[in-house]
A and B are shown apart, each in its own frame.
Chain A
């Protein structure tokens, strides 16, 4: 899914890829352990370089080490790193730092209804492309006068053109018919007006793809009543956050949807809604689907398509046929039961495994 720029050589030696692994906090470590277990079981030629990031420490060394590791390897799989609101404001969000330092400008989330999961809406299939580096997440705030805080939302022409281009290219690649830009240009005329204008300019270069726009409040209301009208959506950072969470809620919850952050040279894979899941950590009840599907996206990115399809097929079979569901989607299964079931299905699929 990366654009055609000169790519750095893949971190592949002797046929095995090296991928950075950032456990994060909450349910991150346990789910990523399951991913490693599964990969070892399925003999996937990927080695993980684990980099721990301590969310409580104020120094930025940890996250800088992680960034260096990702620059070296090119690909990463991460859990969410907690951001403590009560710490002083110069303590930036680690996840945000990572995204901006590596210039991972496109966050892509493919929301699909899974057949075995009970939801109020059926057959949803929406791709959400969210600008990942600027917008409201610029971390530029100041309090010039006590009691009055100004928070800057930055929209630039370059980044808007870039994300719009990414969206249309992706739509074309996947054979999608329509791209919808989500904005609030009636109120933020210059900022979202610029974003909308950039999308329109890029749209004119893709006459085969229909382009329309919708205001974010109307979008969220339509998503809740008639989500089938949407195909591909592109939007700035904050609206992307809200809209992707609404869509995740529509297809069954945060435990089911994987997300990918793409930059020109790097790609980082994680769950789409970036939940830390502190309240369910280490209780063996978290849903591993999102993280496992994210690892499949990573395998696709590394061009290990056979392994990706094998793992994905096993996950979907577990979800849809054996109906082994975790608590968040209304079942009784534990995380390890689900992972075991996936491993059994992989084993029954062919000889490509170690012993269980």
Chain B
């Protein structure tokens, strides 16, 4: 009985601890404003890496078509006198040490914003060698991957008027890199779904839908098979949906979703889903609007944002042949300019890119045209020059 009483007391004291902890936290708040700022989650953003009116952005060239396309971005920015300086950090995909990627992560933490090409992950290397892209996303906690798939006028596709925003959880799910082989020949791969991350991504999705004036959010899942995992995700989405009565919420199983996307993609508005389904669905949507060369993607975290192409292709087979489509990377850089609040520059470049695509019909090989990458970029620069005085002299 004494033991029971002691353990009861222990339990009671454990229950009381959270309250005492909260009290200490508020006491700290009063004492040190710096600590207070770090604890307050919603309104604190790190100061932008802006000095003398110029922003500094980390640039990670990556592999394959990354370096050449990002060079075009720099060329274009220099031509348009965009007040952005790039801090280039190279990441060697074949090195097994993680120093390169850690340097990149540090640079992004310093600058807050990055533009990157995809870093290749060699399947043949041992499993201890993690995917560098994945490491970057998880270290910076870039929990939301947002991809806005829009049919672009001037690009011939089988489906018209596709306008879907895909929000994909970016840090957990099947990409947890937790695998082991307890018994030789039997591999267990862990898919982690947490309530906190699911609520967070659902909150992000609904906020974005509201901001953009969207009417419907669809959660994509496979809860009939993965009842606990995707069941938790679905339930978190439902809870968040209850706080947004102006937005319709429904859900669909991933296999049905992909089938509907292929037949009637116009029924979808905003979609939110865990990591792997997001990967598949975003690639299907990219295929629907014209291919991997057209769609930009963004990875948002609480404090950082990294911009890249939506489908994260390395494009090894077309590297350095001057045939890659620069549209996705250029539109990604426009999204970055919007994020840095340089809206005028963003609009100017975006308009030129879209005009090149739709009016001059200068298409690269992936869209069925004959143009080279440099021709397309050149045309964009000509468009910009025609638009106003805001350019440097030589094209």
Contact = CB atoms under 8 A, between A and B. Distances in A.
Interface of A: 83, 85, 89, 93, 96, 120-121, 136-137, 139, 141-143, 146-158, 184-191, 193-194, 196, 216-218, 220-225, 238, 241-242, 244-246, 248-250, 253-254, 273, 275
Nearest to A251: B262
A327 to B, nearest CB: 13
A187 B131 contact: yes
A244 B134 CA distance: 28
Interface in B271-287: 276, 279-280, 282-284, 286-287
Contacts of B192: 148-151
Contacts of B280: 216-217, 220, 242
A329 B313 CA distance: 35
B27 interface: no
21 contacts: A143-B232, A151-B190, A153-B174, A153-B188, A154-B189, A155-B187, A156-B187, A157-B186, A186-B121, A187-B174, A190-B181, A190-B187, A216-B280, A217-B282, A221-B292, A224-B284, A224-B287, A242-B258, A246-B262, A249-B263, A253-B259
A217 B277 CA distance: 9
Interface stretch (B77-85, B217-225, B296-304): B217-225
Contacts of A191: 179, 187-189
A158 B282 CA distance: 32
B228 A248 contact: no
B237 to A, nearest CB: 13
B326 to A, nearest CB: 19
B185 A157 contact: yes
B225 A220 contact: no
A288 to B, nearest CB: 19
Nearest to B291: A225
Nearest to B251: A85
Interface stretch (B193-201, B202-210, B345-353): B193-201
Scoring B195, B225, B232 by chain A CB atoms within 10 A of each residue's CB, the highest score goes to B225
Contacts of B337: none
Contacts of A148: 192-195
Top 5 A-B pairs, shortest CB-CB distance:
A224-B287, A249-B262, A147-B195, A157-B185, A151-B229
Given A141-B227, A149-B194, A221-B287, 11 more contacts: A85-B227, A96-B225, A143-B228, A149-B229, A152-B191, A190-B127, A217-B280, A238-B222, A238-B276, A242-B254, A242-B255
Contacts of A150: 190-192, 229
B227 to A, nearest CB: 4
Given A153-B174, A190-B180, A246-B259, A141 B229 contact: yes
Given A85-B227, A149-B193, A250-B262, A188 B174 contact: yes
Contacts of A242: 254-255, 258, 280
Contacts of B311: 217, 221
B106 to A, nearest CB: 24
A83 B226 contact: no
B366 to A, nearest CB: 9
Contacts of A147: 194-196, 232
B287 A222 contact: yes
A273 B255 contact: yes
A188 B228 contact: no
B194 A185 contact: no
A238 B230 CA distance: 14
Contact of A85 (B121, B224, B254): B224
B63 to A, nearest CB: 13
A270 to B, nearest CB: 14
B288 interface: yes
A96 B134 CA distance: 32
Nearest to A135: B189
A220 B187 contact: no
